[in-house]
Structure 1
Amino acid sequence: MNFSVYRDLLSIVPVRRLLLVGMLARFPHAAAGVLLTLHVVLTLDKGYAAAGAVAALVTIGIAVGAPWRGRRVDNVGLRRALIPSVISEAVIWSVAPHVSYEWLLVLALIGGLFTLPVFSVVRQSLGVLATGDKRRTAFTLDSIATEIVFMGGPAVGAVLATSLSTVVGLTLVGLSTAAAGLFLMWFNPPTRSAATGALPEHDVEAATAAVVTAAPAHLREPAVELAQAAAEQAEAEDPSRGGILHRFSAGFSWVTLSVAVVFVVAAGAGVLLASSDVGIVAMVESTGNPGELGIVFAVWCAASLVGGLVYGAMNRKISPMLLLLGMALLTLPMSLATDTMSLALLSIPGGLLCAPVLSAASERVADLVSEERRGEAMGWYGSALTTGTAIGAPLAGAAIDTIGPASGFAFAGTAAALMVLITLGARALVTRRSARV
């Protein structure tokens, strides 16, 4: 392990600034999860399954909107792509706390659709600013920054809900997120490298000439072959050519078996994190001390921070699938907790693998997908993550309402572990069949 890589990366001003902006933009949403749950359970007097349904609709909206937002960033630039998010965040979350549960469901879906795409934008920009092994460290630093935010965000949300009101808390979330979006637009981090933006698209001769001119004399012949192959592939993927089926398949030509496996990891992580999140809220609230939520979230996120620091300093990669399996199995003992402190302590083993799972998956996407499609790919990665969240939150809530708070953690660990094992088996089967052909 080499911890000096953190110092070297943080010495790069754009990287340091991007991580700071990402932290500020994420903080309101870090408080929103707890506020929404407590708003439905305490203010609207509904159950945890109802709260899980609201969270599910938010995440379904995010899952549908993230690829579209990512493509908009790729096509029109960051500033124009963020305008709808800034407006909707300010309006929707100022209105949502004042409506009935039924209207809250509608607004939750719309709010999720136009959520500020902080995750995909930050990861896409880090993929441009950092290359090679530095990407692992950069994505790990972003995961660590996220954990720091989630150490404080839920605690602030719980304090706002219990000392003031969930109505005030959710309104502040919307206004703060809109302000963060304006700050992100002002900063305007790079989402495409200058070299890539300078190359012409779908022009074989121009692309070949550009590469050959830049290549040394003894490498010009292989450079011609590589440039022609790349340009011809881009021309074949031109959505303006061919019929509807051709354009649709060309639009997803970047999706390979390996990319699909990473998306399954993201969905599994979403199931695991959302179920654990609902379980923590239910377990602590059942003790009659909801104000202690911040203790558990702080310990859980601190463990993830430590795990992320260790993983980012490692000199080799670990499969995100194996990391997710380990995290799922280590989450199961949380169901044995009897009070706030025991829950906090039991959250440490699983928490150690949280940041490494997300860092490894993001790094894998950046390695597998070309820069021209990386914004959209990160959007789909975020969609997979939030789809898992949408599945995990209501199912865990239903289990908690039926059996008890401990069942949330049992469901979380078992569901994520089964997703990993089924995916590993399916991948092995596809690989064997491909080998036979």
Structure 2
Amino acid sequence: MLTPYRRILATPHLPLLLAVSLLARLYATGMALAITFLVAGWTGSYTLAGVVTSALIIGSGIGGPLRGRSVDRKPAPRLLVLTSLGYAAGIGLMAALPPAWWPVAPVLAFLAGLSQPPAGQVARSVWSRLPDAAAREASYAAEATLQELLFVVGPMLAALLVALVSARAAVAACAVLALLGSAGFALVVHRSGLQTRPPAARSEPTRRESPFAVLRSPGLVSVLVVMALLVGALTAGDMVVVAWARDRGTPSLAGVLGAVWAVGSGVGGLFLAGRGGQRLPLRVGLVTAGLVLLALVLPPVLSHPSPVLVAAVLLIGGTAIAPAIAASNSRLGALAPDDRRGEAFGWMTTATTAGGAVMSPVIGALLDHLGPAAAAGFGGLVVLLGTVLARRVPHPPPPTLTPASPAAPEPAPGLPVDHGVIRKASALVSRGECNGGVAVVAGE
């Protein structure tokens, strides 16, 4: 079970880079929850809270390919610092708004999203150039699994700040974490001397190509749509948990339930994500089953469900999340061209954030008018479509043809660079992220 992960520990610099890259994304796992409480407190509407969250997601999605192209062509430390300054400024201003000024929040959220620090894309550009295919798969799995720790800590800290201080304090804390985490990751990347760009990006003049050229790679669009549907469904799950906990008068319970969901995902990732033979349709299909099961234990299907019952369902259903994210990100990394991989993962950010952007207001409306069960059930329907489409995603080329090999002539001091990525996700992210859930905005 743990054998694949030993490859990571044996690779110089890789354990520290993995750890710090995850810490640099911690803020994103609590951001959506904090914003939801802040805007719902201002307006009393989950729909408007979803609109603000969507603005952040849309901004991040639009900027994703541009940041990804920059990762392929420019020094990563400077990019991380500059984007984190813009992001922290936008989120900090939103946290300082008077309640009556809430219509300004979507604008600030959108501008902040445009400047979201690309910690995930930078990390994945390093991971993707590991010459050892087994080490790459282990890296994808480790990121997906360890990312779940973020979805335990991030939402729990955000919910704790909401309960003990205020939603405004939780949003401001996320802004500070984004700035400090990105600066720390930039420092580690700089000191390691690792390259995040392929040799061609440093030795050849920049070619003027369409920003959509990378999407012509066979199968890339299909896997991006699958990831968008997956993250959209996980966004639904996160919003459902937050709304149910808030409506029953126990807002801090949202962080606990989110942590339970993340623990289930981490357990699933530990046992399954690092194994070979990524069965993408099966893994996405199991996420569908988890959301349908959640819908059956929430109001109005069950009038007053026990938090223990809901937690048990989240724990079981969560075991499918990390394996699904690991499989989809691994497939994306294998299908993307070597010299456009950062850009491909930028499009992943766009796809996953678009999934969350579309789902957030829809789920908010379902929560306002039909209740948590309907919202969770709709999330299950969305990821069911992803399961069907996953069957059309082509398999990656054989390991001997892995695109990581061109980077082998140019190892950075001490580490052959590459490592597949993972997202809650997303976040997805992660989940992903969301993710975790709404924290899927962490997918960056």
Both proteins in one fold, TM over 0.5: yes
1:47 — aligned with what?
45
Larger RCO of the pair (alpha carbons < 8 Å, separation 6+):
2
Residue 377 (1) aligns with residue 357 (2): no
Query: 1:169: how far off?
Result: 1.6
Cα distance in 1 between the residues matched to 2:156 and 2:267: 20
**Structure 1 residue identity aligned to 2:181:** A
Taking a change above 3 Å as real, the CA distance of residues 176 and 342 of structure 1, as seen in their structure-2 partners, is: same
Does the CA contact (< 8 Å) of 1:158 and 1:293 recur in 2?
A: yes
More deviation, 382-391/79-88: 79-88
Alignment check: 8 A CA contact 2:288 2:384 kept: yes
Is residue 89–residue 175 contact of structure 1 (8 Å, CA) maintained in 2? no
Give 1:132-147 correspondences, 5 Å limit.
Answer: 132-147=133-148
How far, CA to CA, are the matches of 2:378 and 2:105 in structure 1?
26
The residue correspondences of 1:3-402 to structure 2 (distance < 5 A) are 3-42=2-41, 44-99=42-97, 100-129=101-130, 131-188=132-189, 190-192=194-196, 196-197=199-200, 200-201=203-204, 239-240=207-208, 247-248=209-210, 252-253=213-214, 255-319=216-280, 321-337=281-297, 338-402=305-369
CA contact 1:33–1:55 (8 Å) conserved in 2: yes
Q: Distance in 2 between matches of 1:193 and 1:156?
A: 35
Structure 1 unaligned runs (5+)? 203-237, 241-246, 428-437
Residue aligned with 1:288, SS: coil
RMSD of the alignment, in Å?
2.2
The gaps in structure 2 that reach 5 residues or longer are 298-304, 395-444
CA distances 1:273-331 after superposition (whole Å, capped 9, x unpaired): 11111001011112211111222111100111011111234232222x33212211221
Which digits, 9 at most, give the CA deviation of each residue in 1:191-243, with x for residues without a partner? 5477x3598548xxxxxxxxxxxxxxxxxxxxxxxxxxxxxxxxxxx845xxx
CA distance in 2, matches of 1:425, 1:76: 34
Deviation at 1:186, TM superposition (A): 0.9
Amino acid at match of 1:248: S
Counterparts in 2 of 1:423 and 1:366: CA distance versus 1, 3 Å: closer
**Greater share of helix:** 1
Q: Is the 8 A contact 1:74 1:191 kept in 2?
A: no
Deviation, 1:66, is 1.0
Output the CA distance in 2 between the equivalents of 1:324 and 1:192: 30
1:31-73 CA deviation, whole Å, 9 max, x = no partner? 211110111112x033111111111111111110111001111
The total of aligned residue pairs comes to 381
Q: TM-score, normalising length from structure 1?
A: 0.82
* Larger Rg over CA atoms: 1
**TM, length-normalised to structure 2:** 0.81
